[in-house]
């Protein structure tokens, strides 16, 4: 029963986070990109802070080390990741599925950054091969045209790749910290501070709230991203993180693109190209090579292999 519950929650999380790429794409028709991301985390940060106040004895970071972790999360995991992602998705070539597949490279990039910043993490020869395979998948997906690198959505796709790298680096740096800060508290304050940073960036880019078209569709996209994808999504994530551990929960990144592709096709009539499917499969192969030992241990735990 517990395994069935875990599987059901895992699929719900993949569906919620996968369809979030579609909601971003839909909402960008009504919001300037960085301001849209900032509004999302204005709401999500309040929701997460309320949750942290409920489950944590002291939901406020204390001391320089704890605030440093929050600052890293706010800058890289929230502000940089979402600014790059939302701007990248403004391009028609970056469909919901394409964005989700590029972001699925994040766990592979996390391994690279972990090797640099976490001495206990080692990258073997096979792990290096897995990393290279994952990068090949990203290139296949981007399908750059050497004669016109600025065309065909290549630059926006690179922005989404920078988003994945920002998230991966932020994840490693927060994990490398010695601060004993509950993850709920870290996420809540990172969201709020990250939202503030994106508001500043939005002003610097000349975006304005006057440019927002406050339609029913706009409010639906913002509400879905803030309450469902961020609020409910992170509640499920924290629950599964305790039950499954970081290796298995990372697999969400590889199931989410399926839901991103389906929701993009259903609601936005986005086509699913051969390059998208091929890039997704190659990135999955790279992840399997990088995390092969963890997968072997997980399969042994479930009695699949001896």
Q: Is 64 among the domain residues? A: yes
Asked if 88 contacts 159 with a C-beta cutoff of 8 angstroms, the reply is yes
Q: Is 143 among the domain residues? A: no
**How many angstroms separate the CA atoms of 138 and 21, rounded?**
17
pLDDT for res 144? 55
Residue 235 has pLDDT above 90, yes or no: no
What is the pTM assigned to this prediction?
A: 0.84
3-state SS, one letter per residue, for the chain? CHHHHHHHHHHHHHHHHHHHHHHHHHHCCCCCHHHHHHHHHHHHHHHHHHHHHHHCCCCCCCHHHHHHHHHHHHHHHHHHHHHHHHHHCCCCCCCHHHHHHHHCCHHHHHHHHHHHHCCCCCCCHHHHHHHHHHHHHHHHHHCCCCCCCCCCCHHHHHHHHHHHHHHHHHHHHHHHCCCCCCHHHHHHHHHHHHHHHHHHHHHHCCCCHHHCCCCHHHHHHHHHHHHHHHHHHHHHHHHHHHHHCHHHHCCHHHHHHHHHHHHHHHHHCCCCCHHHHHHHHHHHHHHHHHCHHHHHHHHHHCCCCC
Residue 123: pLDDT band (50, 70, 90) is low
Q: For the chain, what percent of residues have pLDDT higher than 90? A: 43
Domain that holds residue 193: 3-118+148-273
pLDDT for res 88? 96
Residue 145 has pLDDT above 60, yes or no: no
Of 80-89, 150-159, 293-302, which range is least confident? 293-302
Q: Is 267 among the domain residues? A: yes
pLDDT for res 141? 60
- Whole-angstrom distance between the N-terminal and C-terminal Cα of the chain? 24
Task: Name 216's Cβ contacts closer than 8 Å, sequence gap at least 6.
Answer: none
**How many angstroms separate the CA atoms of 92 and 295, rounded?**
36
Task: Name 305's Cβ contacts closer than 8 Å, sequence gap at least 6.
Answer: 296, 299
pLDDT for res 149? 42
Residue 305: pLDDT band (50, 70, 90) is low
pLDDT tens digit sequence for 159-176: 999 999 998 888 888 877
Q: Is 283 among the domain residues? A: no
Residue 306 has pLDDT above 90, yes or no: no
pLDDT tens digit sequence for 252-261: 777 788 888 8
Task: Name 214's Cβ contacts closer than 8 Å, sequence gap at least 6.
Answer: 30
Residue 297 has pLDDT above 80, yes or no: no
Q: For the chain, what percent of residues have pLDDT higher than 70? A: 80
Over range 219-243, report the average pLDDT. 88
Q: Is 296 among the domain residues? A: no
pLDDT for res 93? 87
**How many angstroms separate the CA atoms of 73 and 134, rounded?**
25
Residue 36 has pLDDT above 80, yes or no: yes
Q: Is 281 among the domain residues? A: no
pLDDT for res 148? 46
- The highest-confidence range among 31-40, 68-77, 107-116, by mean pLDDT, is 31-40
Q: What crossing angle do the helices spanning 33-55 and 81-88 adopt, rounded to 10°?
A: 140
Of 111-125, 171-185, 248-262, which range is least confident? 111-125
Residue 241 has pLDDT above 80, yes or no: no
Of 114-118, 181-185, 202-206, 261-265, which range is least confident? 114-118
* Number of domain units in the chain: 1
- For the chain, the farthest-separated pair of C-alpha atoms sits apart, in whole angstroms, at 62
Q: Is 282 among the domain residues? A: no
pLDDT tens digit sequence for 266-284: 999 998 888 778 878 887 7
Q: Is 302 among the domain residues? A: no
Burial class (CB in 10 A: 0-12, 13-18, 19+), 268: middle
């Amino acid at each position: 029963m517990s395994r069935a519950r875990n599987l059901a929650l895992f699929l719900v999380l993949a569906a919620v986070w996968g369809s979030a790429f579609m909601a971003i794409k839909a909402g960008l028709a009504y919001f300037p990109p960085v301001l849209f991301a900032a509004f999302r985390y204005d709401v999500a940060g309040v929701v997460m802070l309320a949750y942290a106040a409920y489950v944590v004895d002291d939901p406020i970071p204390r001391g320089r080390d704890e605030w440093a972790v929050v600052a890293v999360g706010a800058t890289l995991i929230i502000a940089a990741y979402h600014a790059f992602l939302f701007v990248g998705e403004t391009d028609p070539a970056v469909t919901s599925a394409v964005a989700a597949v590029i972001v699925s490279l994040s766990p592979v990039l996390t391994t690279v950054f972990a090797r640099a910043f976490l001495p206990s993490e080692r990258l073997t020869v096979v792990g290096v091969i897995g990393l290279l395979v994952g990068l090949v998948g990203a290139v296949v997906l981007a399908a750059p045209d050497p004669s016109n690198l600025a065309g065909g959505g290549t630059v926006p796709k690179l922005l989404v790749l920078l988003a994945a790298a920002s998230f991966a680096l932020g994840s490693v740096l927060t994990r490398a910290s010695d601060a004993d800060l509950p993850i709920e508290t870290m996420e809540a304050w990172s969201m709020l501070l990250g939202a503030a940073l994106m508001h500043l960036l939005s002003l610097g880019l000349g975006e304005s709230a006057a440019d927002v078209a406050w339609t029913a569709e706009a409010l639906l996209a913002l509400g879905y991203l803030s309450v469902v994808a961020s609020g409910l999504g992170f509640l499920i994530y924290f629950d599964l993180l305790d039950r499954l551990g970081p290796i298995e929960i990372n697999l969400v990144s590889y199931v989410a693109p399926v839901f991103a592709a389906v929701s993009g096709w259903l609601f936005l009539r986005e086509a699913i190209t051969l390059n998208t499917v091929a890039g997704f499969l190659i990135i999955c192969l790279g992840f399997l090579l990088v995390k092969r030992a963890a997968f072997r241990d997980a399969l042994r735990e479930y009695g699949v292999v001896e």
